[in-house]
C-alpha cells in the first residue's frame, strides 16, 4: 500500500514526465473523492500548467501555474495512472485529468476501489466556508521520513509510553511510514516494535533514525513495494520490487535473514507486527 517510497516513486515519475502539461479538464465522478471542501473549488485548476510536483509524507502536492496546490492522497488502494487520451477507464476510476501536452494529449486516471483516497485544494474553504488553520491541511505532519533527524526523533519519543511502532506510523511524529516499513525499520534498527518508545537510549535513537533513512531510501530505489494483491502500481501500471527485499513483513514462520530463527507475528492493536525475537530487543 502506498507509503512514502511509493508516493515518492509517483512524484518522481510525474515530475520527470508531466511538468509543463496544461490541465484542460478535471472530471470528478467519485462521490467521496473530494470531501474536505465543495468539489466546485477544484474547477479553478483547469487551464493551469503543472509547474511542480512535491511530496510530504504520503501526501502528493501538485503545484499549478497560478499558485494553486492540489493535494492527492492514495490512502489504501489509490492509483494514479498516465493513460493515452480517451483510454478505457478501469473500474473505480473516480477522477480523470485531461491534459494538453507537447505530444498532443494525455490523461491521468485516479483509480481507487476502496475510496479511502482523496483530492483536495490546499487552503480551500471547507463546507462551512472556513479555512484550515495555520500550516493548512498538512500542518499536523511531522518531518518527512527521508529528512528526519535523530534530534527530532529524540524529542518526539521522549516520555512516550506507546509502543515504538505506534509512533513510527504516527504522521505527527514522522511523515511517510506505514505498517510495512515500520516493521522493516524496526528490524533494521534491531529494536522490537512493541517496546515502549520513550525508553530508547541515545545510541538506539540514532540507530532508529539511520534505519528510517536506509529502509526508505532502499525502497525508493526499488520503486516501492507491491504486496500479494499487487494493488500498488506506478503511473504505467507496473509493480514495485521492494517486496522482494522485505525481511520481516508478512513473513511469519520464515527464517530471519540474520539468525535463521522463524519470524514471529505478534498481535499489535487491531493488526499485527512481524519481528525476529532474537535479533530485535
Given the rule CB under 7 A, which residues bind DNA?
1-3, 32, 57-59, 73, 75-77, 91-92, 113-116, 137, 140, 159-163, 166, 169, 171, 178-180, 198, 228-229, 250, 269-272
3-state secondary structure of 250: coil
Could you confirm whether 125 is annotated as catalytic? no
Q: What grid cell was written down for 200? A: 530508547
For residue 281, what are the contacts with CB-CB under 8 A and spacing of at least 6?
Answer: 190, 191, 192, 195
> How far apart are CB 145 and DNA at their closest, in Å?
11
> How far apart are CB 149 and DNA at their closest, in Å?
19
> How far apart are CB 66 and DNA at their closest, in Å?
25
Are 68 and 57 spatial neighbours (Cβ–Cβ below 8 Å)?
no
Q: What grid cell was written down for 254? A: 520464515
Could you confirm whether 2 is annotated as catalytic? yes
Cβ proximity to DNA, 178 vs 193, nearer residue: 178
Q: What strands, in cross-sheet order, belong to the sheet with 118-121? A: 50-56, 59-64, 69-73, 118-121
Could you confirm whether 247 is annotated as catalytic? no
Could you confirm whether 188 is annotated as catalytic? no
> How far apart are CB 137 and DNA at their closest, in Å?
7
Cβ proximity to DNA, 23 vs 246, nearer residue: 246
Cβ proximity to DNA, 179 vs 209, nearer residue: 179
Classify the phi-psi angles of 129: left when phi > 0, otherwise alpha if psi is within -120 to 50, otherwise beta.
Answer: left
Active-site residue numbers? 2-3, 58, 271
Amino acid at each position: 500500500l502506498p507509503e512514502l517510497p511509493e508516493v515518492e516513486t509517483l512524484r518522481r515519475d510525474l515530475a520527470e514526465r508531466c511538468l509543463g502539461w496544461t490541465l484542460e479538464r478535471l472530471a470528478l465522478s467519485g462521490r467521496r473523492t473530494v470531501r474536505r471542501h465543495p468539489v466546485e473549488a477544484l474547477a479553478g485548476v483547469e487551464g493551469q500548467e503543472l509547474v511542480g510536483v512535491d511530496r510530504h509524507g504520503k501526501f502528493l502536492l501538485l503545484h499549478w501555474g497560478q499558485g494553486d496546490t492540489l493535494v492527492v492522497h492514495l490512502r489504501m488502494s489509490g492509483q494514479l495512472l498516465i493513460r493515452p487520451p480517451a483510454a478505457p477507464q478501469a473500474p473505480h476510476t473516480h477522477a480523470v485529468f485531461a491534459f494538453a501536452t507537447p505530444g498532443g494529449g494525455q490523461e491521468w486516471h485516479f483509480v481507487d476501489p476502496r475510496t479511502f483516497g482523496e483530492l483536495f485544494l490546499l487552503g480551500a474553504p471547507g463546507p462551512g466556508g472556513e479555512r484550515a488553520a495555520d500550516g493548512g491541511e498538512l500542518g499536523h505532519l511531522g518531518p518527512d521520513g527521508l529528512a528526519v533527524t535523530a534530534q527530532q526523533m529524540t524529542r518526539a519519543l521522549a516520555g512516550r509510553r506507546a509502543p515504538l511502532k505506534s509512533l513510527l506510523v504516527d504522521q505527527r511524529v514522522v511523515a511517510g511510514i506505514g505498517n510495512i516499513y515500520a516493521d522493516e525499520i524496526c528490524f533494521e534498527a534491531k529494536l522490537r516494535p512493541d517496546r515502549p518508545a520513550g525508553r530508547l537510549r541515545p545510541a538506539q535513537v540514532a540507530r532508529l533514525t539511520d534505519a528510517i533513512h536506509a529502509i526508505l531510501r532502499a525502497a525508493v530505489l526499488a520503486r516501492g513495494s507491491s504486496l500479494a494483491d499487487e494493488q500498488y502500481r506506478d503511473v504505467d501500471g507496473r509493480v514495485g520490487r521492494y517486496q522482494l527485499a522485505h525481511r520481516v513483513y508478512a513473513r511469519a514462520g520464515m527464517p530471519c535473514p540474520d539468525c535463521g530463527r522463524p519470524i514471529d507475528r505478534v498481535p499489535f492493536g487491531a493488526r499485527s507486527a512481524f519481528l525476529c525475537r532474537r535479533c530485535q530487543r
